[in-house]
């Protein structure tokens, strides 16, 4: 099996993350999989956002939904305290750097007046593109150490699986989470859908009894793939993953030198903010490239 290119939050380095324009751009560039993040609103809607609170970097207030809305401004508020309609008031098309050397602010195209999409809208977009060759890798945002911000993991997983099923995507998707409770629920609810157990040094304490063999623990939790932060990947981890029967998909890799080292370790996929850079490396190495998806035709054409 050849290594794959996965677009991180669409193509975060190029277009606004977790947005319909950004996801469209990644598909038109050509990726094997679109990685995106979902969270649950106060009115039980699935929306695309990386953070459990409204980010001041990726979101800007425009106006309140209603006059004198007590929750306005929305930036900084927990996603699960705001309705979908309130979140739609945010502009998520312009990155606002917290510091002047933010690399994504320098390379990301601004798309003012872009709104936070629902998961259903994304599935509709992918189906409109007829992007059967592109898998959807859906990360369910959940933090077991912050239950006040986190939806019930079973309900959350049920809602995501149901939406994938409604759009005929269970067979061409994967469920991802750092919260391995979700991985276990997905294994029972959608056993044929791949499940990526995400891991990073900062969240190792979320898991009891990991021991010295993280891949074996991920498999026991219901994972069908291990997806570690790239700094964790070495020959030992790769050997353990092979023994557990788990492919390794690394995140987030944006330079060719690091990606080349990981390819030499036989990772199964690279999650990147810059699919264009990875496509150049794949071409240089003679690896099969994902086919770009044809742009949508304007209505009436």
Q: What CATH number is given to the structural domain containing 266?
A: 3.20.20.190
- Position 211 scores a pLDDT of 87
Q: Which helix (H) or strand (E) holds 132?
A: none
Whether residue 289 is predicted with pLDDT greater than 70 in this model: the reply is yes
CA pair distance 186, 181, nearest whole angstrom: 9
Looking at 167-298, list the stretches that DSSP marks H as alpha helix, in order from N- to C-terminal side.
180-189, 214-220, 235-244, 256-264, 275-285
CA pair distance 250, 247, nearest whole angstrom: 10
3-state secondary structure of 92: coil
267 is a domain residue: yes
Quickly state the pLDDT bin for 34 (edges 50, 70, 90). Answer: very high
CA pair distance 64, 72, nearest whole angstrom: 6
Q: Provide φ and ψ at 264, rounded to 5°.
A: -65, -25
Average pLDDT on 171-183 reads 97
The candidate with the shortest Cα–Cα distance to 227, out of 247, 213, 207, 210, is: 247
8 is a domain residue: yes
Whether residue 33 is predicted with pLDDT greater than 70 in this model: the reply is yes
220 is a domain residue: yes
Q: Distances from the Cα of 116 to the Cαs of 32, 55, 93, in angstroms?
A: 24, 12, 9
Quickly state the pLDDT bin for 299 (edges 50, 70, 90). Answer: low
Q: How many CB atoms lie within 10 A of CB 72?
A: 17
226's tokens: 């291990």
Residue in this structure with the two tokens 């809305």, named with its chain if needed: 69
How many domains, in total, are found in the chain?
Answer: 1
DSSP per residue, 30-49: --SEEEEEEEE-TTS-EEE-
Single pTM value for the model: 0.96
CA pair distance 37, 88, nearest whole angstrom: 17
Domain hosting 14: range is 4-52+105-285
In the chain the first and final C-alpha atoms are separated, in Å, by 39
**Lowest pLDDT segment from 29-33, 201-205, 251-255:** 201-205
Q: Which residues contact 20 (CB under 8 A, 6 or more apart)?
A: 114, 117, 121, 122, 125
Average pLDDT on 191-195 reads 98
Give per-residue pLDDT as tens, 235-284: 999 999 999 999 999 999 999 999 999 999 999 999 999 999 999 999 99
Average pLDDT on 214-230 reads 97
45 is a domain residue: yes
The pLDDT > 70 percentage for the chain reads 98
Angle at 2 between CA 128 and CA 7, to 5 degrees: 40
57 is a domain residue: no
How long is the chain? 301
**Cβ atoms 223, 246 nearer than 8 A:** yes
Q: Fill in the DSSP letter of residue 245.
A: T
Q: Fill in the DSSP letter of residue 293.
A: P
CA pair distance 44, 59, nearest whole angstrom: 20
3-state secondary structure of 125: helix
Whether residue 112 is predicted with pLDDT greater than 70 in this model: the reply is yes
Cross-strand partners of 84: none
Angle at 216 between CA 214 and CA 219, to 5 degrees: 110
83 is a domain residue: no
Q: Distances from the Cα of 46 to the Cαs of 34, 58, 101, 185, 263, in angstroms?
A: 17, 18, 32, 17, 34
140 is a domain residue: yes
> What integer best gives the mean pLDDT of the chain?
95
Distance, C-alpha 195 to centroid of its chain? 13
295 is a domain residue: no
């Amino acid at each position: 099996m050849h290594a794959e290119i996965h677009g991180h939050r669409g193509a975060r380095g190029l277009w606004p993350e977790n947005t319909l324009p950004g996801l469209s751009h990644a598909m038109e560039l050509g990726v094997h999989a679109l990685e995106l993040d979902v969270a649950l609103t106060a009115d039980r809607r699935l929306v695309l956002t990386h953070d459990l609170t409204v980010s001041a970097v990726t979101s800007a207030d425009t106006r309140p939904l209603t006059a004198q809305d007590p929750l306005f401004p929305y930036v900084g508020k927990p996603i699960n305290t705001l309705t979908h309609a309130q979140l739609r008031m945010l502009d998520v098309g312009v990155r606002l750097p917290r510091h002047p050397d933010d690399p994504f602010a320098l390379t990301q195209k601004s798309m003012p007046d872009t709104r936070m999409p629902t998961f259903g809208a994304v599935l509709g977009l992918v189906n409109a593109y007829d992007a059967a060759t592109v898998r959807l890798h859906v990360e369910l945002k959940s933090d077991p150490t912050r239950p006040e911000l986190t939806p019930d993991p079973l309900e959350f997983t049920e809602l995501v699986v149901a939406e994938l099923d409604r759009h005929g995507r269970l067979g061409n998707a994967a469920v991802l989470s750092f919260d391995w409770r979700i991985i276990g629920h997905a294994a029972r609810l959608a056993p044929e859908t791949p499940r990526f157990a995400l891991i990073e040094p900062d969240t190792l304490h979320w898991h009891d009894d990991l021991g010295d063999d993280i891949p074996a623990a991920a498999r026991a939790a219901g994972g069908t793939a291990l997806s570690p932060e790239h700094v964790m990947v070495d020959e030992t981890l790769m050997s353990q993953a092979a023994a557990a029967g788990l492919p390794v998909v690394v995140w987030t890799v944006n330079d060719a030198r690091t990606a080349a080292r990981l390819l030499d370790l036989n990772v199964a996929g690279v999650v990147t903010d810059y699919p264009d850079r990875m496509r150049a490396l794949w071409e240089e190495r003679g690896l099969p490239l994902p086919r770009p998806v044809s742009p949508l035709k304007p209505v009436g054409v």
